């Protein structure tokens, strides 16, 4: 049975690489996929991996009817055997509903890839809707690592190397941006709570207080 599958994980855990691998494996068997993406680091209409792999994709603009796009392509004689969606967290909830309709009405597998929470640890609307609707949710097994060596579970936004917790939910950046630009870093929960980035760790030692200090 066709499925809507949500592959989730932090930044830097190989989501786009897996999307490209699925595309490669299926196209090698003669299947034709349709790839949607939003705000990829390589630019509009691209699906790219930090390993340097890149392929063309359809930019899923805000308000775009993804189901309608698939139907229109098939109506013109285009072949679509499956759909891949990268950066799915940036889609609107209504677009996630459209992806579910692709599965249910067109009998196509849809593989969606994205992070679940933003730099404030709040769910992206697109990811929330995927969690609500997906037939299956897969957490990627390639674990990103915090600068301390622990498993990274949270995404942090940095400006000038300093972690920020306020601002627009979506600001396009990357984990390899210069320190003076808007960038992102993956952290364990402990260091996300402490707002301790790699740059901050180099600037000063962690507090020796390992237990909460209470008055009285």
Active-site position among 44, 59, 87, 143: 87
Q: Is 87 a catalytic residue?
A: yes
Q: What is the pTM of this model?
A: 0.74
What is the token pair recorded at 99? 């992806």
Dist. CA 107–CA 110, nearest whole Å: 9
Comparing CA positions, the residue from 94, 135, 90, 132 lying closest to residue 115 is 90
Query: Any alpha helices (H) in the chain, and if so which ranges?
Result: 15-27, 66-75, 93-106, 125-133, 189-193, 198-203
Dist. CA 98–CA 104, nearest whole Å: 10
Phi, psi of 200 (to 5 degrees): -65, -35
Tens place of pLDDT per residue across the chain (216 aa): 999 999 998 777 778 888 999 999 999 999 999 999 997 776 778 787 766 777 889 999 999 999 999 999 999 999 999 999 999 999 999 999 999 999 999 999 999 999 998 888 889 999 999 999 999 999 886 677 889 989 888 888 888 778 887 777 666 555 555 555 778 888 999 999 988 888 877 744 443 433 344 444
Residue bearing tokens 């972690």 = 163
Q: Is the dihedral of CA 51, 52, 53, 59 positive or negative?
A: positive
């Amino acid at each position: 049975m066709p499925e809507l599958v949500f592959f989730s994980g932090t930044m830097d855990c190989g989501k786009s690489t897996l999307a490209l691998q699925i595309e490669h494996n299926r196209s090698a068997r003669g299947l034709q996929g349709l790839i949607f993406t939003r705000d990829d680091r390589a630019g509009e209409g691209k699906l790219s991996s930090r390993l340097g792999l890149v392929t063309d994709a359809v930019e899923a603009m805000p308000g775009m009817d993804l189901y309608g796009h698939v139907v229109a392509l098939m109506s013109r004689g285009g072949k679509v055997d499956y759909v891949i969606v990268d950066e799915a967290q940036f889609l609107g909830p209504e677009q996630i509903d459209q992806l579910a309709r692709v599965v249910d009405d067109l009998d196509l597998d849809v593989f969606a890839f994205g992070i679940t929470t933003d730099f404030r640890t709040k769910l992206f609307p697109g990811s929330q809707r995927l969690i609500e609707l997906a037939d299956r949710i897969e957490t990627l097994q390639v674990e990103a690592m915090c600068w301390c060596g622990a498993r990274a579970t949270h995404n942090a936004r940095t400006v000038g190397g300093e972690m920020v917790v306020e601002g627009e939910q979506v600001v396009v950046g990357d984990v390899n941006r210069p320190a003076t630009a808007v960038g992102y870093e993956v952290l364990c929960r402990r260091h996300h709570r402490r707002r301790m980035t790699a740059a901050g760790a180099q600037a000063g030692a962690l507090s020796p207080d390992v237990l909460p200090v209470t008055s009285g």
